[in-house]
Amino acid sequence: METVVIALGGNAVLQPGQRGTFEEQLANVATTARAIRLVLEDGYRVVVTHGNGPQVGNIMLQNEEARGVVPPFPLDACGAESQGLLGYMLVRSLISELRTHGLERAVVALMTMTVVSPEDPAFQNPTKPIGPFYSQARAMELIVQRGYEMREDSGRGWRRVVPSPDPLEIVEAATIRRLVEEGVVVVASGGGGIPVVRTSDGGIAGVEAVIDKDLAAHRLAEVVDADVLLILTDVEAAALNYGTPAQKDLVGRIPYGEMLRYQREGHFRAGSMGPKVEAALRFVGSCRGRKARRAVIASLYRAREALRGEAGTCIVGDEV
């Protein structure tokens, strides 16, 4: 039985233009649960991970608006809140979806921490805009009062920027592996995992950072020794010359070396398709001939077809 790690994009929970009510998010998650159920019916072991951008942004906005009443929490704690919320929605939907279709599988969401290096160069160069937009005056206050790094975000206002360090290790790795081996459908590493560092006394401390969910999905795929990393998003495939008249969707099997060349030519934008392709290449490139691995980038609505090789971009090892 093959193991697939499914990485869900933002559209799995919130569609562009929606306000983000709980009911809206639950309705979207129900559609996502259906996609996951179809994959389970095709006989895969499934591990699920997901982004948390809009949800953690909303939690930060709630913190900010209510700061005179309830003390604001640090970013790792906001990440934990969003992970719990999304895990709850996904597991609740999946349990209903599987029960309705007569599939007997245990489903669980695990609070997951991702270890990063305190020496990661990202800490010297925060790049990831997060949370609400502020006026310039408020931004200056936040810089002084809380030591935030703030940047003007393309004419829309000031925003906090935080480091996005490379995920190194998943704290709960051994437990995730055990659950997956037992056939449990595990939701883990939500929002890239709660960012932590190991301390010199052997403990763990939270850090103010966000971890890219696609790169974290690659780590998760290594942990469970997955056969497939399936990255589901809001486009049909990775494309060359994206957004230009010369756009060409990469549909079907693309050898590792060819995809690496396109990546080096700069076809995949930082912050969106870039990390998906990077995660895919890391995953396919690290199997060292032990077994054939593939990474697939496809639309959320074509998960089953993508795994059957009928949709999306499928990156395969050169020798396959």
| Residues near ligand ADP, by CB under 6 A | 9-10, 51, 233-235, 238-239, 242, 267-269, 272-273
Determine whether 213 is an active site residue.
Answer: yes
Q: Output 94 or 217, the one with its CB closest to ligand ADP.
A: 217
Catalytic residue (one of 131, 190, 213, 312): 213
Asked if residue 149 lies in contact with residue 125, where contact means CB atoms within 8 angstroms, the answer is no
Catalytic residue (one of 9, 10, 57, 192): 10
Determine whether 10 is an active site residue.
Answer: yes
CA distances from 283 to 223, 228, 263 (A): 11, 9, 15
Q: How far is the CB of 107 from ligand ADP (least distance, A)?
A: 22
Q: How far is the CB of 223 from ligand ADP (least distance, A)?
A: 20
Q: Are strands 150-152 and 158-162 parallel, antiparallel or unpaired?
A: antiparallel
Catalytic residue (one of 11, 52, 58, 63): 11
Determine whether 291 is an active site residue.
Answer: no
Structure tokens at 41: 């019916």
Determine whether 241 is an active site residue.
Answer: no
Helix residue ranges per DSSP H, 69-190: 75-100, 136-146, 173-181
Q: Output 63 or 233, the one with its CB closest to ligand ADP.
A: 233
Q: Output 199 or 241, the one with its CB closest to ligand ADP.
A: 241
- Which residue type does 13 have? V
Determine whether 11 is an active site residue.
Answer: yes
Catalytic residue (one of 28, 57, 128, 131): 128
Asked if residue 130 lies in contact with residue 161, where contact means CB atoms within 8 angstroms, the answer is yes
Q: How far is the CB of 175 from ligand ADP (least distance, A)?
A: 26
Q: How far is the CB of 232 from ligand ADP (least distance, A)?
A: 7
Residue with tokens 């996502």: 32
Residue nearest to ligand ADP (CB): 9
Q: Output 134 or 191, the one with its CB closest to ligand ADP.
A: 191
CA atoms within a 13 Å half-sphere pointing along the CA-CB vector of 241:
5
CA distances from 113 to 21, 162, 225, 307 (A): 27, 17, 19, 28
Active-site residues, by number, are 10-11, 128, 213, 276
